[in-house]
Amino acid sequence: MTENGRGDQLAAMLRDRMSPRWQVDLDTGTVRLRYRRPPHPAPAPPRRPRSSADLVGAMARYLGRQGVSRAPLLPIRWGRETDLTISAVQGSTPG
């Protein structure tokens, strides 16, 4: 396959067109393409789930740094206040 350098040209073209993860070899008239597996990263250590209080606190700190002030909490008692709160949330959602 190396007659007149055609095999070398083919291998060079394949190397240019394929991603670096492919290895192109010419061996006795045969073109071989082998996929190089990327090395596996070390597994991340297990994370403990954040509590709701931690999550809300982290969000409040981040938003505070961005200049977003925290509004008072919505009422959670059942009755008229709950209906008003649900209506306000539904009214604020797009669509």
Q: Which has the closest alpha carbon to 52: 63, 60, 43?
A: 60
Q: Where are the domains of the chain?
A: 3-35
Q: Which residue bears the tokens 């709160």?
A: 85
Structure confidence at residue 1 (pLDDT):
47
Structure confidence at residue 2 (pLDDT):
46
DSSP state of 67: T
pLDDT-flagged residues of the chain (< 70): 1-4, 74-82, 95
Structure confidence at residue 74 (pLDDT):
65
Task: Record the pTM.
Answer: 0.34
